[in-house]
Structure 1
Amino acid sequence: MLVERIMTSPVETLHEDDTIHSAMNLMSRLSFRHIPIVDDNNDLVGIVSDKDLNLALPSIAGEDQDISLDLQLNKIMRQQVTTCHPLDFVEEIAKDFYHYGIGAIPVMRGKKIVGIVTQKDMLNTFLELTGIREPGSIIEIDIQDRMGIIYDLGKIFKDLNIKIASISIYANSEKKGHKIIVLRIEAMNPLIAIEKLEEAGFNVISPGGMH
């Protein structure tokens, strides 16, 4: 899946000379947690999060709170910004979210910001890919990793006239050379499918009911 499919666009930005007060108002009004910061050429120069604002205020708050709220964003913004391109794969930027512990990634075309992807966008994408928003059942199968396994599974469900909504595969940490296949099927009762899978020699380890 490409980033351009899940990004928010157009994206709200603030100028580097705008104030903490401006950022707080924008976040409150639009329920944002991250705001990209641009310069006079509308080029990305930084990003500010609600956490940055919260950390900055106590450190600069003195006798006159109004002065602290008037501090320019270029004084507190993070200038080293992880970015991506609209044609990058969502799976790739997921690594950046995980490794760097960031909450949002601006989407760039050249020097211009064309969108933004947040942790919430990534979660929504995960829910979409797993098909968990749709009614159905989940079946987990332990398999020895081999060629043609998906074909064999597909044939069983084709014969049953049951549609597979999504397939996820991950390593079985308890068995070397084995993987766990998680099937989400468009059937409220998975028992018939489980019976056919077991007849075909598959090890069903976790049948799930209606979700």
Structure 2
Amino acid sequence: MFVRDYMTRNLITVDKKTGIFEALEIMKKHKIRQLPVVSAEGHLEGLVTEKELLTVSPSPATSLSIYELNYLLAKMTVAEAMVKNPLTVTTDTTLEEAALLMREHKIGSVPVMEGGRIAGIITVTDIFDALVKFFGYGKAGTRLVIESRDRVGLLADVTQVVKEFGILILGIISNAKENGNVEIMLRLNTGDPAPLAAALESRGFKVTYIN
């Protein structure tokens, strides 16, 4: 799964002269939490988040009255709050690479570049949506989990049994366990998995979950 298939393409952007209050209003209106900061030529100059805008304040704040503080805040722009030279990925980056990058740097979004220009943005929410789609949550079908000793040809043997029953496989996920076994989750286009489960059990596969 690649970033290009799940990123947000219709970007809402601002330039670095945009006021922080205006940027917050844009985020509120469009229900987003980050804004790429782009130059008039279309080059990415930074990234500003709702959190950064809400925590920005002029210095020294302690010597200002509330009116002076609000006046200075109204004059501040996103250039004073944005992250310059933010981490980026490309449209060919895999979702797992993007997810790992966000986790390592504790960030919630990454601009997506293509040909030196910004093409979109990928967020933690986008990655969650991709996982939900991949698992087929809320869609018709059956989830069947098998546990077996890991070996060469294991997946081919499992899918061969499914093929014999003429059942369409909608998705497969495998998870290696510390004991040397592997769990295989099959998302199947069937409402009656019992005969298939019995056949798998008869061939030495342990069916641990059916839903």
Query: Normalized against structure 1, the TM-score is what?
Result: 0.89
Equivalent residue, structure 1, for 2:79: 74
* CA distance in 2 between partners of 1:182 and 1:160 (Å): 17
Structure 2 residue 195 is the aligned partner of structure 1 residue 192? yes
Q: Could you tell me how far 1:62 is from its partner in structure 2? A: 4.9
* CA distance in 2 between partners of 1:57 and 1:135 (Å): 51
Equivalent residue, structure 2, for 1:28: 28
Q: Could you tell me how far 1:205 is from its partner in structure 2? A: 1.6
Bigger Cα displacement from structure 2, 55-64 vs 126-135 = 55-64
SS at match of 1:15: coil
Q: Do the aligned partners of 2:20 and 2:76 also contact (CA within 8 Å) in 1?
A: yes
Structure 2 residue 129 is the aligned partner of structure 1 residue 124? yes
| Structure 1 segments unaligned to the other structure (5+ residues) | none
* CA distance in 1 between partners of 2:124 and 2:17 (Å): 27
Q: CA RMSD of the aligned region, Å?
A: 2.0
SS at match of 1:179: strand
Equivalent residue, structure 2, for 1:203: 206
Count of paired positions:
206
Cα deviation digits, residues 103-129 of structure 1 (max 9, x gap): 111111244211111111111111222
Equivalent residue, structure 2, for 1:56: 56
Equivalent residue, structure 2, for 1:4: 4
Q: Do the aligned partners of 2:58 and 2:73 also contact (CA within 8 Å) in 1?
A: no
* CA distance in 2 between partners of 1:58 and 1:189 (Å): 64
Q: Could you tell me how far 1:56 is from its partner in structure 2? A: 1.6
Bigger Cα displacement from structure 2, 66-75 vs 47-56 = 66-75
* CA distance in 1 between partners of 2:120 and 2:35 (Å): 11
Query: Normalized against structure 2, the TM-score is what?
Result: 0.89
Q: Could you tell me how far 1:67 is from its partner in structure 2? A: 2.7
Bigger Cα displacement from structure 2, 96-105 vs 194-203 = 96-105
Q: Do the aligned partners of 1:62 and 1:68 also contact (CA within 8 Å) in 2?
A: no
Q: Could you tell me how far 1:58 is from its partner in structure 2? A: 9.2
The 1:121/1:62 distance shift into structure 2, 3 A limit, reads farther
Cα deviation digits, residues 120-147 of structure 1 (max 9, x gap): 1111111222223421121111111111
From 162, 178, 181, the equivalent of 1:178 is: 181
- The one-letter code matched in structure 2 to 1:104 is S
* CA distance in 2 between partners of 1:124 and 1:23 (Å): 26
| Structure 2 segments unaligned to the other structure (5+ residues) | none
Superposition map of 1:85-96 within 5 A: 85-96=90-101
Q: Do the aligned partners of 1:21 and 1:70 also contact (CA within 8 Å) in 2?
A: no
Identical pairs, percent: 27
The 1:62/1:83 distance shift into structure 2, 3 A limit, reads farther
Q: Could you tell me how far 1:97 is from its partner in structure 2? A: 2.1
Q: Do the aligned partners of 2:87 and 2:111 also contact (CA within 8 Å) in 1?
A: yes
- The one-letter code matched in structure 2 to 1:74 is A
* CA distance in 2 between partners of 1:80 and 1:47 (Å): 8
Q: Could you tell me how far 1:14 is from its partner in structure 2? A: 0.7
Bigger Cα displacement from structure 2, 146-155 vs 188-197 = 188-197
